[in-house]
């Protein structure tokens, strides 16, 4: 019985603290909007989408109009669901959901409510089931996808290594995004006069053996954006360097691990794009369904000159010109 | 008010998982790691069955059966191949990772927003009543399951299951087949765990491969918290699991509501677990022993020291 009383006391206490946290605002010119942020997991790219959003709101001098509450699900879909449910219960004005499971949790929790959801870093919003089409969601969801076209990224490889014939791709058999990108690469590479040689692994411990098979057959390696490959980047670069082969990629955050060049998605810019949507929805009363899903407008070029020099690659003038812009 | 309702709904939802794990942890007295694979197995089987448009009872039955089979695999590894219990669970769990991918046709994420699930609000329920509808539905499901488990543990088979956990030699002494009871316990437990996975996926309306991650700790924390809360009462182990699960979800929800630093969440779960364990000395010992493999089935010779017949509530 004592325990039950203790538990009840605890519940009452936290409840009081909770109600103190939730502030009710009165609608006027300076109305402050509450944005609940669900970030699925901590990751440099995902962090950048939040920083980009805050940067845009700040640069528009509107940051004082928003109360931003950030919650992280630590990679657990069940926690993402709980966070979303709490945001709905607290009556936030908008949910900003970063990564696919966070977007799905937010979409599910806002069923039967008018709370708009702005998503980001979701590779396939239609595939995730949160929008009907990229042009018009027909739901309370809009946002930005991070699906970048692979073609310019492979074109970069050709531009830096005009003699390259075979490009090696390592991917995780257990991840949908890696598989999709590799299939895309096999389709696009021949158009650029190259062959894509792919090899799948199911575990990070198999990377060394897979690279051992791959490296003798290829002129360069391309790092796809799947989580396993991203985690193994340092090892992949190390093994490739021993064979004197460059590694390209599409995630700028991995450049300092030894990628030669990246023509990739700038997640900070994706966050800024989402910031425009947030202002549109909350301040201009635009419905999410009327805002088409944003795509990466332009990729950003990054070159690791030190690494290029070490591998004896001369950076073509055309790239240096682009870099200067 | 909504905060408390949400906590109870989440707690009831995951109490099915806690009851399933309690069957191995408290009745068979062994920590079965199969749960980390059988929970997402139930979720993916449930999700695929929903996408195929199967009726809800069939969806739940398929999930239960899939979990049951996973339990049989684990017990087969233990009993026939004589692999250590802890390792058997880990092997099944790892194998299920691939199986779950195959079932989902190599997808790691399945949205269910277009399908009607058990928790889809029928037209006669107004939007404001959705929470109460979910609460009522879950109360009925959890209560039925609890009563079924309680009843099963009073049958001869259920009694023998408890004996198999407390004093395996006594089972042999009574002329019964010890292995068949261990198989029964593991398959029943994993069947219920998979059923829980299917229920969770119907509530969250999306499946993700990462769903099973850390589920054993969640379930054990719930069980141990329930024990600490109700240890001075005559509550049954299912009741303890249900209240423990609600208390656990309350802790998680409070941590989130109090805006704890995100990286603190996992650590806090472990902290709650440790505190609850410290208040429950007898289980701490049995847990440590089970982790060492000392309570395992394949090493039953170590039980020779236990003479008295101790029966759990």
Q: Of B25, B70, B74, B18, which Cα lies nearest the Cα of B45?
A: B70
Q: How far is B7 from chain A (nearest CA, A)?
A: 9
- Where does the pLDDT of residue B284 fall: very low under 50, low under 70, confident under 90, or very high at 90 and above? low
Q: What is the pLDDT of residue B263?
A: 60
Across the range A285-300, mean pLDDT stands at 87
Q: Which long-range contacts (CB under 8 A, 24 or more apart) does B177-183 make?
A: B178/B297, B178/B300, B179/B75, B179/B79, B179/B297, B181/B157, B182/B28, B182/B75, B182/B78, B182/B79, B182/B297, B183/B71, B183/B72, B183/B75, B183/B76, B183/B79
Distances (CA, A) of A274 to A117, A267, B58, B120: 11, 11, 42, 31
Smallest Cβ–Cβ distance between A81 and the set B130, B204, B210 belongs to B204
| pLDDT tens profile B241-256 | 999 999 988 888 887 8
Mean pLDDT of chain B: 84
Distance from CA of A299 to the nearest CA of B (A): 27
pLDDT computed for residue A292 by the predictor: 93
pLDDT at A106 over 70: yes
**What pLDDT, on a 0 to 100 scale, did the predictor assign at position B107?**
79
- What pLDDT is stored for residue B255 in this prediction? 79
Per DSSP, the residues of A142-203 read EEB-----SHHHHHHHHHH-TT--EEEEEEETT-HHHHHHHHHHHHHGGGGT-EEEEEEESS
pLDDT digits (tens, 9 = 90+) for B130-174: 889 999 999 999 999 999 999 999 998 888 888 888 888 888 888
Query: What count of residues does chain A have?
Result: 325
Please determine, for residue A2, whether its predicted confidence score (pLDDT) is greater than 70: no
Residues of B in contact with A176 (CB under 8 A): 106-109
Distance CA A278, CA A95 (A): 9
Beta-carbon separation of A107 and B210 below 8 A: no
- Mean pLDDT score of chain A: 84
Strand partners, A166: A195
Please state, in angstroms and rounded to a whole number, the distance separating the CA atoms of residues A85 and A82.
Answer: 5
DSSP secondary structure letters along B279-307: T-HHHHHHHHHHHTTTT-STTGGGGGG--
CA quadruple B22, B24, B28, B32: dihedral, nearest 10: -140
B111: which chain A residues are within 8 Å (Cβ-Cβ)? 104, 127-130
Nearest residue in B to A100, CA atom? B109
Q: Could you tell me the pTM of the whole model?
A: 0.77
**pLDDT, greater one: A169 or B284:** A169
Q: What is the pLDDT of residues B39-64, one digit of tens each?
A: 999 999 999 999 999 999 999 999 99
Per-residue pLDDT, A68 = 93
Lowest model confidence (mean pLDDT) among B207-216, B231-240, B258-267: B258-267
A15 and B3 within 8 Å at the Cβ level: the answer is yes
d(CA A273, CA A267): 10
> Rounded to an integer, what distance in angstroms lies between the CA atom of residue A296 and that of residue B269?
38
pLDDT at A278: 94
Phi then psi for residue A93, to 5 deg, are: -85, -20
Residue of B nearest to A72 (CA): B262
Per-residue pLDDT at A120: 93
Which tens digits make up the pLDDT trace of A74-100? Answer: 888 888 998 999 999 889 999 999 988
Mean pLDDT score, A139-166: 88
Cross-strand partners of A223: A170, A249
For residue B296, the model assigns a pLDDT of: 42
Q: Where are the alpha helices (DSSP H) in B205-236?
A: 215-230
Distance from CA of A17 to the nearest CA of B (A): 8
Cα distances (Å, whole numbers) of residue B161 to A134, A208, B116, B310: 55, 47, 38, 13
Mean pLDDT of A26-48: 81
**Given pLDDT bands bounded at 50, 70 and 90, which one contains residue B303?**
very low
pLDDT of residue B235: 80
CATH number attached to the domain at A30-147+268-290: 3.40.50.2300
This model of the complex carries an ipTM of: 0.75
Q: Mean pLDDT, to the nearest integer, of A231-257?
A: 87
Domain segments of chain B as ranges: 2-109+134-305
pLDDT in tens, B74-100: 999 998 999 988 899 999 998 998 899
CATH architecture of B2-109+134-305: Orthogonal Bundle (1.10)
Average pLDDT over residues B282-289: 56
CB pairs under 8 A between A and B: 124
Is the CB of B130 less than 8 angstroms away from the CB of A17?
Answer: no
CB atoms within 10 A of CB A62: 16
- The predicted-structure confidence for A108-135, as pLDDT tens digits, reads as follows 999 888 899 999 988 888 888 999 999 8
CB-closest option in B203, B209, B254 to A14: B254
Note whether A291 and A275 are within 8 A (CB): no
Confidence of residue B200 (pLDDT cuts 50, 70, 90): very high
Residue contact B213–A202, C-beta within 8 A:
no
User: Taking CB atoms and an 8 Å cutoff, what residues of chain A touch B270?
Assistant: none
Q: What is the mean pLDDT of residues A256-277?
A: 89
Cβ of B229 and A3 within 8 Å?
A: yes
User: Which residue in B has a C-alpha nearest to residue A70's C-alpha?
Assistant: B259
Kindly state the percentage of chain B with pLDDT values over 70. 87
More confident residue, B86 or B282: B86
Name the CATH superfamily for A151-264+300-324. Response regulator (3.40.50.2300)
Instruction: Pick B46 or A149 by higher pLDDT.
Output: B46
The string of pLDDT tens digits covering residues A190-208 is 998 899 999 888 777 888 8
Interface test with A, best of B98, B114, B205 (most A CBs within 10 A): B205
pLDDT of B31 reads: 82
CA distance B139 to B125: 17
Q: Given an 8 Å threshold on Cβ–Cβ distance, is A174 in contact with B112?
A: no
Q: How many CB atoms lie within 10 A of CB A53?
A: 29
The answer, yes or no, to whether residue A276 has pLDDT greater than 50, is yes
Q: Where are the alpha helices (DSSP H) in chain B?
A: 2-22, 35-51, 56-79, 85-103, 130-154, 156-166, 168-173, 178-204, 215-230, 237-257, 264-278, 281-291
Q: Is the pLDDT of residue A25 over 60?
A: no
- Give the closest residue to A120 by CA, choosing from A255, A253, A277, A226: A277
At residue A18 the predicted structure's pLDDT band, cuts being 50, 70 and 90, is very low
| A262 phi/psi in degrees, rounded to 5 | -135, 130
- Across the interface, of A78, A89, A202, the residue whose CB is closest to B2 is A89
pLDDT value at B273 more than 80: no
Range(s) of chain A covered by CATH 3.40.50.2300: 30-147+268-290, 151-264+300-324
**Alpha helices (H) along chain A:** 2-21, 44-59, 77-90, 100-109, 151-160, 176-188, 207-214, 227-231, 233-242, 267-283, 305-310, 317-324
pLDDT for B305 equals 38
């Amino acid at each position: 019985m004592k325990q039950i009383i203790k538990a009840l006391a605890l519940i009452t206490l936290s409840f009081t603290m909770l109600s103190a946290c939730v502030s009710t605002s009165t609608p006027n010119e300076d109305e402050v909007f509450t944005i609940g942020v669900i970030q699925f997991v901590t990751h440099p790219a995902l962090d950048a989408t939040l920083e980009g959003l805050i940067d845009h709101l700040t640069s528009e001098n509107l940051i004082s109009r928003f109360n931003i509450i950030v919650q992280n699900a630590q990679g657990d879909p069940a926690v993402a669901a709980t966070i979303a449910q709490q945001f709905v219960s607290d009556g936030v004005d908008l949910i900003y959901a970063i990564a696919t499971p966070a977007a799905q949790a937010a979409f599910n929790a806002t069923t039967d409510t008018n709370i708009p959801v702005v998503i980001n870093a979701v590779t396939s919003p239609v595939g995730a089931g949160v929008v009907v089409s990229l042009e018009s969601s027909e739901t309370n969801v809009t946002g930005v996808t991070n699906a970048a076209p692979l073609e310019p990224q492979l074109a970069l490889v050709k531009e830096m290594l005009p003699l390259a014939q075979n490009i090696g791709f390592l991917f995780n058999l257990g991840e949908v995004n890696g598989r999709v990108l590799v299939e895309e690469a096999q389709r696009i590479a021949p158009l650029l006069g190259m062959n894509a040689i792919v090899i799948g692994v199911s575990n990070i411990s198999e990377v060394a053996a897979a690279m051992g098979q791959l490296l003798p057959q290829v002129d360069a390696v391309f790092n796809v954006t799947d989580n396993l490959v991203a985690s193994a980047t340092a090892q992949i670069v190390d093994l490739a360097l021993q064979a004197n082969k460059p590694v390209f990629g599409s995630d700028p955050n991995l450049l300092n691990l030894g990628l030669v060049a990246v023509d990739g998605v700038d997640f900070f810019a994706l966050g800024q794009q989402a910031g425009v949507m947030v202002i549109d929805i909350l301040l201009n009363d635009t419905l999410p369904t009327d805002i088409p899903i944003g795509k990466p407008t332009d990729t950003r070029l990054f070159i690791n000159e030190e690494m290029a020099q070490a591998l004896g690659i001369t950076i073509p003038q055309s790239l240096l010109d682009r870099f200067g812009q | 008010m909504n905060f408390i309702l949400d906590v109870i709904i989440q707690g009831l939802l995951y109490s099915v998982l806690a009851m399933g794990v309690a069957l191995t942890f408290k009745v068979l007295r062994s920590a079965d790691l199969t749960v980390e694979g059988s929970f997402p197995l139930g979720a993916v089987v449930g999700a695929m069955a929903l996408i195929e448009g199967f009726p809800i009872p069939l969806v739940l039955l398929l999930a239960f059966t899939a979990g049951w089979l996973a339990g049989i695999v684990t017990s087969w590894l233990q009993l026939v191949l004589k692999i250590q219990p802890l390792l058997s669970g880990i092997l099944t769990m790892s194998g299920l990772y691939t199986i779950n991918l195959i079932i989902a046709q190599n997808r790691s994420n399945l949205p269910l927003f277009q399908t009607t699930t058990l928790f889809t609000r029928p037209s006669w329920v107004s939007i404001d009543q959705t929470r109460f509808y979910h609460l009522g539905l879950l109360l009925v499901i959890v209560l039925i399951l609890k009563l079924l488990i309680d009843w099963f543990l009073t049958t001869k088979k259920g009694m023998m299951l408890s004996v198999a956990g407390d004093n395996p030699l006594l089972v042999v002494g009574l002329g019964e087949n010890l292995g068949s009871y261990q198989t029964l316990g593991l398959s029943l437990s994993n069947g219920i765990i998979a059923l829980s996975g299917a229920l969770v996926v119907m509530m969250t309306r999306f499946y993700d491969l990462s769903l099973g991650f850390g589920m054993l700790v969640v379930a054990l924390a719930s069980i141990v918290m329930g024990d600490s809360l109700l240890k001075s009462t005559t509550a049954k182990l299912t009741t303890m699991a249900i209240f423990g699960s609600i208390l656990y979800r309350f802790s998680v929800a409070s941590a989130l509501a109090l805006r704890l630093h995100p990286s603190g969440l996992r650590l806090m779960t472990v902290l709650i677990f440790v505190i609850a364990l410290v208040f429950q000395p007898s289980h701490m010992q049995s847990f440590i022993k089970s982790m060492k493999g000392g309570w395992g089935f394949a090493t039953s010779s170590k039980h020779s020291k236990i003479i008295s017949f101790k029966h759990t509530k």
